[in-house]
Amino acid sequence: MNARPDHSVLADQEGSARDDLLMDVRNVSLSFGGVKAITDISFDVRQGEIRAIIGPNGAGKTSMLNVINGFYTPQVGTITFRGVERRSMKPHDAVRQGIARTFQNVALFKGMSTLDNIMAGRSVLMKRNIVWQMLWRGPALREEIEHREKVEEIIDFLEIEHIRRTPVGKLPYGLQKRVELGRALAMEPSLLLLDEPMAGMNLEEKEDMSRFILDVNQQRGTTIALIEHDMGVVMDLSDRVVVLDYGKKIADGPPDEVKNSQAVIDAYLGVPH
Amino acid sequence: MFYRIAGQYKTSYGADYALFPIKQDAWLLALILVFAFVVFPLTASDFMFRALLIPVLIYALAALGLNILTGYAGQLSLGTGAFMGVGAYACYKLITIFPEMNIIGAIVLSGFFSAAAGVAFGLPSLRIKGFYLAIATLAAQFFLLWLFQKWAWLYNYNASGAIQVPNTQLFGVTITGAQAPVLAQYFFVLITVCILTAFAINITRGRIGRTWKAVRDMDIAAELVGINLMKAKLSAFFVSSYIVGIAGALFVFLWRGAAEADLFDIQLSFRVLFIAIIGGLGSILGNYLGALLIVALPVIIGTVPAAVGLPISSAMVEHLNTMIIGALIIGFLILEPHGLARLWALMREKLIIWPFPH
Ligand SMILES: Nc1ncnc2c1ncn2[C@@H]1O[C@H](COP(=O)(O)OP(=O)(O)OP(=O)(O)O)[C@@H](O)[C@H]1O
Ligand SMILES: [Mg+2]
């Protein structure tokens, strides 16, 4: 990989030695039949940081998130999350281990209310069996109320009290994205994956969303990996950026360094390889 | 006027879980229960019980079972009739093998047989959905019906091929069989249906209900928020078929008194499905409204024209009935897929803001 700037190599070596490492992606390759979506990508995510993943359309960003949360199994490579190495896992196990995500195309439960959508995010944290549920007494009711309180905190935080009971299918797109963030937060993740959280939003909505993302990171201490096309947002929010192009990593480092890297400029301007 | 929310505030999330956020809803339910438990028993004729009240309750229960699977969990089933049959045959075998067994015990247990059958035939739902799953449940319908006909052990080798409900007693009162007083049977059905409805309400509003609805609305997203699809789908088949099985046992033991295999054919499956659709998929209340409509319609067509001096033949009653139900199904599917329950919800909303238009 001759296109890779020097500092990214340094960052990698430095990264694997650090003890605040949350996740380490090693030599991951993923292809669909003949299509190579990801080719030999390695990068890490540190505890407490906001890590941006950027790149032109079709670069393999969403595929990368899908590998991380177990939706796709890469042909080659490993993912070490909180010290546990694996290649494949079931998505619901990823949630149990603390990886939550939102989707590029909103994937909410359209017929359910905002409240129910976010409560559904807590399904894995709830334990009471069907017999208690049936009776709606004692432990089942206590559990429900306990989780409801947590969910109401999220609803307050995201300022969506007014749409608590509205079926999400009826909400405008910007609010749907916010509810989806709420659902992911409800899982109390240690790593939050956001796939283009601001796509299709106007400036004001983008500012709100940026504020929420920063607050989540700072107040809750949640580590975030975020895909975003808006360069301004990426530069403002992220601590470090990894750049993909045609499934390959072409840069990795702090935002201002990455921005000035020749490989990145070429990729975004569409210079042929 | 009657519906007012002013002055009704909630002070805790616990209070917010009250079944009836609005007091008037609770009064309405209380009124209905007073009718069901007091007024009807004091006033209704045997004909009313047998032609209307008991079947409405049993069909509503069957539709409730199907609604959990189809309306809440989004898995279409065309095998309801056969699963009712499993409940009925299981109850029959339990009662005849263990004659000293309590009828309540037999009915409670018979639901587990249909639940097991439901889970077994629900396994394909882990790989296929929608239309293809409907076909798989259709296969269950035909297979089970064939079993009811061919497996003579199920009907104790009766020459007629039918099961005949034996006399059983509960607290000294005959509750099943030819001698059973209809009032006792009505109360037995009513209480069973009330209990199961309460359970269904609780399950559907809690964690398990949310996982079902999540699977219905978007199964991939459900999996990605950590919901185990296999558990969610199979638990829906289990709970649904349990209730359907109990409805089947009540159907034969507390209402028909005897049954041949053909009683559980595809017609019955469709009947219950129509009730669920007309009543409203994804609603508990709808099952009752739908059952009331479907059961009462032929009774009304059969009696009202005659009463006003316009007698029509029984064949005509049947034709009219089929035509009206067909029209209703098409109408609801096109105009109001959420059925009568949604119509009621809209009306209730209007009442809350009445007489102000907004
Ligand atoms: N399930 C799949 N089957 C086949 N090919 C796929 C699949 N998912 C992704 N790909 C291919 O992998 C490549 C990377 O896609 P991916 O969605 O990861 O890109 P992206 O960087 O998220 O792009 P965008 O900015 O448009 O969202 C594309 O060529 C895409 O067509
Ligand atoms: Mg993408």
Provide the 10 A C-beta neighbour count for residue B149: 14
Tokens of A167: 């079926």
* Omega prior to B355 cis, within 30 of 0: yes
- A21 and A79 belong to one structural domain: yes
Question: Measured in angstroms, how far is the CA atom of residue A68 from the centroid of ligand 1?
Answer: 15
| Nearest one of B259, B239, B244, B233 to B82, comparing CA atoms | B244
Q: Which residues are CB-neighbours of A116 under 8 A, at least 6 positions away? A: A109, B210, B213
Question: Which of A29, A31, A63 has most ligand 1 atoms within 8 Å of CB, for mutation?
Answer: A63
Please compute the mean of the pLDDT values over residues B245-260 and round it to a whole number.
Answer: 93
In this structure, is residue A213 part of a structural domain?
A: no
Instruction: Check A101 against B224: CB less than 8 A apart.
Output: yes
In this structure, is residue A120 part of a structural domain?
A: yes
Under a CB-based contact definition with an 8 Å cutoff, are residues B193 and B60 in contact?
Answer: yes
Under a CB-based contact definition with an 8 Å cutoff, are residues A43 and A12 in contact?
Answer: yes
pLDDT tens track for A125-178: 888 888 888 888 888 888 888 899 899 999 999 999 999 899 999 999 989 999
Under a CB-based contact definition with an 8 Å cutoff, are residues B244 and B65 in contact?
Answer: yes
**pTM of the entire predicted model:** 0.88
Question: Measured in angstroms, how far is the CA atom of residue A3 from the centroid of ligand 1?
Answer: 22
Question: What's the domain count of chain B?
Answer: 1
Please compute the mean of the pLDDT values over residues A204-232 and round it to a whole number.
Answer: 91
CA atoms within 13 A on the CB side of A210: 18
Work out the pLDDT band at A18, boundaries 50, 70, 90. low
Q: Residue B268 has what pLDDT?
A: 95
Regarding the beta carbon of A37 and ligand 1, being less than 6 Å apart is answered: yes
Instruction: Check A112 against B214: CB less than 8 A apart.
Output: yes
- What is the Cα B154 distance to its own chain's centre? 24
Phi, psi of A234 (to 5 degrees): -60, -45
Q: Which residues are CB-neighbours of A139 under 8 A, at least 6 positions away? A: A128, A132
In this structure, is residue A127 part of a structural domain?
A: yes
Tokens of A23: 């996740």
Q: Residue A17 has what pLDDT?
A: 53
d(CA B155, CA A36): 62
Most confident by average pLDDT, B35-39, B49-53, B208-212 = B208-212
Q: Which residues in chain A touch residue B228, judged by CB atoms under 8 angstroms apart? A: 92
Helices A173-186/A138-157 angle, 10° precision: 130
Percent of chain B with pLDDT over 90: 49
d(CA B134, CA B123): 13
Q: Residue B345 has what pLDDT?
A: 83
- A40 and A94 belong to one structural domain: yes
Domain boundary residue, one of A188, A213, A232: A188
Task: Assess whether pLDDT exceeds 80 at residue A6.
Answer: no
Q: Residue B4 has what pLDDT?
A: 57
Question: Measured in angstroms, how far is the CA atom of residue A67 from the centroid of ligand 1?
Answer: 12
- A93 and A137 belong to one structural domain: no
DSSP for B149-201? HH-GGGGTT-TTS-EEPPPEEETTEEEESTT--HHHHHHHHHHHHHHHHHHHH
Q: Residue B357 has what pLDDT?
A: 58
| Nearest one of B235, B215, B92 to B152, comparing CA atoms | B92
Average pLDDT, chain B: 88
In this structure, is residue B98 part of a structural domain?
A: yes
Candidate from A82-91, B55-64, B113-122 with smallest mean pLDDT: A82-91
In this structure, is residue B30 part of a structural domain?
A: no
Regarding the beta carbon of A55 and ligand 1, being less than 6 Å apart is answered: yes
Q: Residue B1 has what pLDDT?
A: 46
| B222 and A CB contact within 8 Å | yes
Q: Residue B72 has what pLDDT?
A: 95
Task: Assess whether pLDDT exceeds 50 at residue B25.
Answer: yes
Pick among B224, B242, B349 to test the A interface (most A CBs inside 10 A): B224
Percent of chain A with pLDDT over 90: 42
Please compute the mean of the pLDDT values over residues B103-118 and round it to a whole number.
Answer: 95
For chains A and B, what is the number of CB pairs under 8 angstroms?
A: 104
Instruction: Check B206 against A133: CB less than 8 A apart.
Output: yes
| B199 and A CB contact within 8 Å | yes
DSSP for A209-273? HHHHHHHHHHHS--EEEEE-S-HHHHHHH-SEEEEEETTEEEEEE-HHHHHH-HHHHHHHHT---
Element (H, E) at A101: strand A99-101
Position B127: which residue type?
R
In this structure, is residue A204 part of a structural domain?
A: no
Question: What's the domain count of chain A?
Answer: 2
Instruction: Check B227 against A103: CB less than 8 A apart.
Output: no
Q: Residue A2 has what pLDDT?
A: 40
pLDDT tens track for B41-66: 898 888 889 889 999 999 999 999 99
For residue A91, give the chain B residue with the closest CA: B224
Tokens of B175: 């509750």
Under a CB-based contact definition with an 8 Å cutoff, are residues A202 and A177 in contact?
Answer: no
Checking DSSP bridges between strand A21-32 and strand A76-81, what pairing results, if any? antiparallel
d(CA A215, CA A192): 13
Residue where the block lists tokens 């969610």: B232
The conformation of residue A113, written as its DSSP 8-state character, comes to: B
Q: Residue B6 has what pLDDT?
A: 55
Regarding the beta carbon of A59 and ligand 1, being less than 6 Å apart is answered: yes
Q: Residue B77 has what pLDDT?
A: 92
Most confident by average pLDDT, B15-19, B148-152, B335-339 = B148-152
Under a CB-based contact definition with an 8 Å cutoff, are residues B246 and B196 in contact?
Answer: yes
Tokens of B49: 């019980």
In this structure, is residue A202 part of a structural domain?
A: no
In this structure, is residue B29 part of a structural domain?
A: no
Task: Assess whether pLDDT exceeds 70 at residue A7.
Answer: no
Tokens of B157: 């080798």
pLDDT tens track for B274-333: 999 999 998 999 999 999 999 988 888 888 887 787 778 888 888 888 899 889 888 888
Regarding the beta carbon of A62 and ligand 1, being less than 6 Å apart is answered: yes
Residue where the block lists tokens 């360069």: A231
- A19 and A72 belong to one structural domain: yes
Position B295: which residue type?
V
Task: Assess whether pLDDT exceeds 60 at residue A11.
Answer: no
Helices (H), chain A: 6-17, 61-68, 91-97, 114-120, 130-135, 138-157, 173-186, 203-219, 231-237, 255-260, 262-269
| Nearest one of A101, A52, A55, A103 to A237, comparing CA atoms | A52
Instruction: Check A92 against B223: CB less than 8 A apart.
Output: yes
- Nearest ligand, measured from the Cα of A57: 1
- Domain with B199, as residue range(s), is 45-353
Tokens of B52: 């209307």
Q: Which residues are CB-neighbours of A178 under 8 A, at least 6 positions away? A: A158, A160, A208, A209, A212
Task: Assess whether pLDDT exceeds 50 at residue B358.
Answer: yes
For residue B216, give the chain A residue with the closest CA: A109
Regarding the beta carbon of A105 and ligand 1, being less than 6 Å apart is answered: no
In this structure, is residue A228 part of a structural domain?
A: yes
In this structure, is residue A129 part of a structural domain?
A: yes
* Residue with CA at minimum distance from ligand 1 atom 5: A32
- A230 and A256 belong to one structural domain: yes
In this structure, is residue B15 part of a structural domain?
A: no
Pick the more confident residue, B172 or B135. Answer: B135
Q: Residue B14 has what pLDDT?
A: 63
| Nearest one of B204, B222, B281 to A108, comparing CA atoms | B222
Residue where the block lists tokens 């929010």: A237
Q: Which residues in chain B touch residue A121, judged by CB atoms under 8 angstroms apart? A: 225-226
Phi, psi of A167 (to 5 degrees): -60, 130
- Domain with A73, as residue range(s), is 1-98+224-273
B88 CB-contact burial (10 Å; exposed 0-12 / middle 13-18 / buried 19+): buried
Q: Residue B3 has what pLDDT?
A: 59
Element (H, E) at A207: helix A203-219
Q: Residue A44 has what pLDDT?
A: 92
- A144 and A82 belong to one structural domain: no
In this structure, is residue A194 part of a structural domain?
A: no
Tokens of A117: 């959508």
Work out the pLDDT band at A87, boundaries 50, 70, 90. confident
Tokens of B127: 């790989």
In this structure, is residue B133 part of a structural domain?
A: yes
Query: Distance (Å) from the C-alpha of residue B306 to the closest C-alpha of chain A?
Result: 45
d(CA B97, CA B93): 6
pLDDT tens track for B211-249: 999 999 998 889 888 898 999 999 999 999 999 999 999
Q: Which residues in chain A touch residue B210, judged by CB atoms under 8 angstroms apart? A: 112, 116, 119-120, 123
In this structure, is residue B283 part of a structural domain?
A: yes
ipTM of the complex: 0.84
Q: State the CATH number of the domain containing residue B166.
A: 1.10.3470
Domain boundary residue, one of A138, A164, A188: A188
Query: Distance (Å) from the C-alpha of residue B139 to the closest C-alpha of chain A?
Result: 29
Q: State the CATH number of the domain containing residue A264.
A: 3.40.50.300
Helices B339-353/B285-307 angle, 10° precision: 100
Checking DSSP bridges between strand A223-227 and strand A50-54, what pairing results, if any? parallel
Regarding the beta carbon of A33 and ligand 1, being less than 6 Å apart is answered: no
| Nearest one of B187, B193, B222 to B65, comparing CA atoms | B193
Tokens of A243: 């750049």
